[in-house]
Structure 1
Amino acid sequence: MLETLLLINRGGKGFLRGNLPAEAQYAPIYGIVADDLNGDGIKDLVLAGNQSWARIKLGRFRANHGLVLMGDKKLNYSTLTQAASGLNVRADTRDLLMLGNSRTLVFANNDAPVMAYRLR
């Protein structure tokens, strides 16, 4: 079964695996930003994706409207609600980046305009 998960490279000691919540599995992920969003010193994740052009048998994979996952010291992640995050990206995102120190997320979308969200 395919799964979106977190792998942390520990150099010559291999990788450390972190599992992501069910919400991270609902649609393909094409863009990830890792940053400390709430100032607690722990990296949080913003995920973006979707795929509208899937085969007819499978249907569309469009359940990711910009997903924010808040991390803890044990590599556990909890989902921030869409209302709390303020993200509403309904396009097929193909890349996601944070613009330097501006705290602005930029979503590069397929067949749709680029979208930007400034974090509070």
Structure 2
Amino acid sequence: ISYYNAGKAYPLALRDDLLRSLPSLGARYPTYKSYANQTLTDVFAQKELADAVVKNAYTFATALARNNGDGSFTLEPLPLEAQIAPMYGILATDIDGDGKQDLLMAGNFDGVKPEIGKMSASYGVYLRGDGKGHFAPVRALESGFFVPGQARDIQRVRTRTGSIYIVSRNNDRPLIFRATAPAAAEKARR
């Protein structure tokens, strides 16, 4: 795995990880300094790279794939609040009872190597839909939707008194939310 900086590909692996996988490179990189700033083509010969499987990722954004109706899709990144950490639990439903699809999202991921760093800056996000495919974030103080930890799924459960939203999390108890907006409460009574 590599990453690009100023048009050059650099190996993502730290020296110790690389040498654990490919001990034969130890003679070429006996020190951390000798490995520093090495590009992918410095580490691997063109012949070795020619046989490599190449996959490219052009975005890691949490996005909405809009169906254009002709067999194609347009990828539209969601607002910044949905980009703070990876989102694993995503529920599209009408939260506020206005008849328009909203999004409840939660995620985070702590199971990464220390050099990459935890991806745990999100506390979940409620995105209010306008019915035209655009979404605006609603502050947690207003919505009450606050999800610490590593969330993995969000499910809506209909009850006699209205819908509840259950958020499952890794190594933690689930969280339960209820929509209390006047429009949602009125709609639930119908």
Aligned length: 120
- Which runs of 5 or more structure 2 residues have no equivalent in the other structure? 1-58, 181-190
Instruction: Kindly report which structure 2 residues correspond to 1:57-76, keeping only aligned pairs within 5 A, or say none.
Output: 57-76=115-134
Q: 1:114 aligns with which of 174, 178, 183?
A: 174
CA contact (8 A) 2:155 2:166 kept: yes
Preserved CA contact (<8 Å) 1:18 1:76 = no
Hey, what does 1:100 align to over in structure 2? 158
What is aligned with 2:110? 52
2:148 matched to 1:90?
Answer: yes
Separation of aligned partners in 2, 1:80 and 1:37: 12
The alpha-carbon deviation at position 110 of structure 1 amounts to 0.5
Give the number of the structure with larger relative contact order, counting CA–CA contacts within 8 Å between residues 6 or more apart: 1
- The code of the aligned residue for 1:114 comes to P
C-alpha contact 1:50 1:61 (8 A) present in aligned 2: yes
User: Among the aligned pairs, what percent are the same residue?
Assistant: 32
The verdict on how the C-alpha distance between 1:113 and 1:70 changes in structure 2, with shifts beyond 3 A counting, is same
Shift, 1:58, TM fit: 2.1
The alpha carbon displacement at 1:55 in A equals 1.8
Q: Is 10-19 or 55-64 further displaced after alignment?
A: 10-19
How far 1:27 moved relative to its partner? 0.5
TM-score when scaled to structure 2? 0.57
2:98 aligned partner: 40
Cα deviation, 1:77-110, whole Å, max 9, x if unaligned, reads 1110011111221110111111135321111110
TM-score by length of 1: 0.87
CA distance in 2, matches of 1:66, 1:119: 15
Equivalent AA in structure 1 for residue 169 of structure 2: N
Higher strand proportion: 1
Gaps spanning 5+ residues in structure 1: where?
Answer: none
Superposition RMSD in Å: 1.8
